[in-house]
Amino acid sequence: MSEDKTQKTMAAAIIGRRRFINTAALASLVGVVGCNEKSASTATPAALSASDAKPGNGSDGNVDYSKYEVHPGQLDDYYSFSSGGHAGDARIYGLPSGRLFKIIPVFNMDCLVGWGITNESKKIIGTKADGSVKYHTGDTHHIHPSYKDGTYDGKYMFVNDKIHGRLARIRMDTMETDKIVELPLVQGFHGTFPDKRDPVDPAINYTTRVFCGSEFSIPLDNNGKNMDATADYRSIFTCVDSESMEVRWQVLIDGNCDLVASSYDGKLACTNQYNSENGAHYEDMMSAEMDSCLFFNIARIEEAVKAGKFKNYGGSKVPVVDGTKAANPDPKTALTCYVPVSKNPHGVNASPDGKYYACSGKLSPTATLIEHALVLKWFDGELKDAREAVVAEPEIGLGPLHTGFDGRGNAYTTLFLDSQIVKWNVEAAIKSFKGDKTAKPVVDRLDVQYQPGHGFTSMGETKDADGKYFLSDNKFSKDRFLPVGPLHPETAQLIDISGDKMKLVADHSVYSEPHDSIIIPRNLVRTRQVYDINEFPNAVKDAKDCRVERKGKKVTVYLTSQAPTFGLREWTVKRGDEVTIILTNLDKVEDLTHGFAIPKYDINFIVNPQETKSVTFIADKPGVYWCYCTNFCHALHLEMRSRMLVEA
Q: Which residues bind ligand K7E (CB under 6 A)?
A: 141-142, 190, 346-347, 401-402, 453-454, 515-516
What's the min distance (Å) between Cβ of 560 and ligand CUA? Answer: 11
Rg of the chain taking only CA atoms, in angstroms: 27
Indicate the helix (H) or strand (E) that contains 126: none
641 binds ligand CUA (CB under 6 A): no
| Alpha-carbon distances of 258 from 187, 215, 635, rounded to whole Å | 12, 5, 52
> Of the two residues 86 and 309, which places its CB atom closer to ligand K7E in the complex?
86
> Of the two residues 276 and 457, which places its CB atom closer to Ca ion in the complex?
276
Q: Which residues of 342-371 are buried (b: 16+ CB within 10 A; e: fewer)?
A: bbbbbbbbbbbeebbbbbbbbbbbbbbbbb
629 binds ligand CUA (CB under 6 A): yes
What's the min distance (Å) between Cβ of 410 and ligand K7E? Answer: 20
- For ligand CUA, the binding residue among 242, 273, 556, 631 (CB under 6 A) is 631
- For ligand CUA, the binding residue among 221, 632, 639, 647 (CB under 6 A) is 632
Strand partners, 236: 252
Contact 291, 331 (CB under 8 A): no
Collect all residues with Cβ–Cβ distance below 8 Å to 368 and sequence separation of at least 6.
293, 341, 342, 345, 358, 359, 360, 361, 390, 392, 393
> Of the two residues 69 and 639, which places its CB atom closer to ligand CUA in the complex?
639
Coil, helix or strand for 146? Answer: strand
What's the min distance (Å) between Cβ of 288 and Ca ion? Answer: 5
> Of the two residues 301 and 582, which places its CB atom closer to ligand CUA in the complex?
582
For binding to Ca ion (CB under 5 A), which residues are involved? 274, 291, 344
559-588 residues in contact with ligand CUA (CB under 6 A) are: 563
**Nearest to 152, CA basis, from 454, 525, 470, 407:** 525
Residue 8, Cα to own-chain centre: how many angstroms?
37
What's the min distance (Å) between Cβ of 83 and ligand K7E? Answer: 8
What's the min distance (Å) between Cβ of 564 and ligand K7E? Answer: 46
What secondary structure letter does DSSP report for 41?
A: H
Coil, helix or strand for 558? Answer: strand
What's the min distance (Å) between Cβ of 472 and ligand K7E? Answer: 11
Q: Binding partner of residue 142 among Ca ion, ligand K7E, ligand CUA, none, CB under 5 to 8 Å per kind? A: ligand K7E
Q: Binding partner of residue 478 among ligand CUA, Ca ion, ligand K7E, none, CB under 5 to 8 Å per kind? A: none
Contact 384, 337 (CB under 8 A): no
Q: Binding partner of residue 344 among ligand CUA, Ca ion, ligand K7E, none, CB under 5 to 8 Å per kind? A: Ca ion
606 binds ligand CUA (CB under 6 A): no
* Binding-residue total with ligand CUA (CB under 6 A): 9
Q: Binding partner of residue 637 among ligand CUA, Ca ion, ligand K7E, none, CB under 5 to 8 Å per kind? A: ligand CUA
Q: Binding partner of residue 631 among Ca ion, ligand K7E, ligand CUA, none, CB under 5 to 8 Å per kind? A: ligand CUA
637 binds ligand CUA (CB under 6 A): yes
Collect all residues with Cβ–Cβ distance below 8 Å to 93 and sequence separation of at least 6.
79, 80, 81, 82, 99, 100, 101, 492, 508, 510, 517
598 binds ligand CUA (CB under 6 A): no
**Nearest to 449, CA basis, from 472, 424, 468:** 472
What number of other Cβ atoms are within 10 A of residue 103's Cβ? Answer: 18
What secondary structure letter does DSSP report for 68?
A: G
Q: Which residues bind ligand CUA (CB under 6 A)?
A: 563, 594, 629, 631-634, 637, 640
